[in-house]
Amino acid sequence: MDFRGKTVIVTGAGKGIGREIVRMLVERGAQVVALTRSGADVEALRGEFGCRAIQVDLADADATREAAIAALPADFLINCAGTTELQPFLETTVEAFDRLVAVNTRAPMIVAQEYARSLIKEDRKGAIVNVSSVASFVGIPDHAAYCASKGGLDGLTRVMAKELAPHGIRANGVHPTVTLTPMAVKAWSDPEKAAGMMKRIPVGRFAEPADIAEVVLFLLSDQAAMVNGISMPVDGGYMIA
């Protein structure tokens, strides 16, 4: 996959899967515009990968729209930023629920709106990949708000796929299983919980960020020109178990 001459917006580019996506895109010739929260990551992305990097808290809707507009023009969009907080269903707070939906669901919608508006105005084609999770397919204990936020993101992906494809813009979702990143440390540090999850993954390991990044780049690329509106698990077979 050759991304020479292409500009790609990547949210959540500072760590984990987003950072690996940036590394791969730059290696394959893309110019990356990174949207992420921590100042240290913004500096590192500029220094290491020569990205344009914009610091933004994607929980803030107005700031998100401003950052999305500042990131344009772009050929492709990857909504990768995500966050989680572990709470059993009965103890899930409205505040945590709203925080997760703001970052995991609302921010991808806002960034995609601005990206698509700009492409349609310029009569250019494009593609969007939303990084969801296997948590949108199954109920994972202590992840009520996270599961709901990713289920909402899947709904958005499908509507985008229908409404934007006539304009030449595809939209697809990628659904990782546990992937070895800072988020996974937060969500899966309990060895008993991690072992239970691992048992359900037929390939016998958790994912590496590169496993996810390769699939994201494929769905973005012209090789996937006829793929639109899918939810692709990258889960080592977890979903068939």
User: Residues with catalytic annotation?
Assistant: 146, 150
- Please state the closest distance from residue 173 (CB atom) to ligand NDP, in A: 11
**How far, in Å, CA of 80 to CA of 129, rounded?**
8
CB-CB contact of 149 with 104 (8 Å): yes
Q: Which is nearer to ligand NDP, 157 or 179 (CB)?
A: 179
Concatenating the DSSP letter of every residue in 22-45 gives: HHHHHHTT-EEEEEES-HHHHHHH
133 or 228, CB closer to ligand NDP?
A: 133
Instruction: Identify which of residues 51 and 58 has a Cβ nearer to ligand NDP in the complex.
Output: 58
- Alpha helices (runs of H) in 72-106, residue ranges in sequence order: 94-101
Contacts to ligand NDP by CB under 6 A:
12, 14-18, 36-38, 41, 56-59, 80-83, 103, 131, 133, 176, 178-179, 181-184
Contact 205, 104 (CB under 8 A): no
Tell the smallest beta-carbon distance from residue 26 to ligand NDP (Å): 16
CB of 39 to ligand NDP, least distance (A): 9
User: Which backbone phi and psi does 42 adopt, to 5 degrees?
Assistant: -60, -45
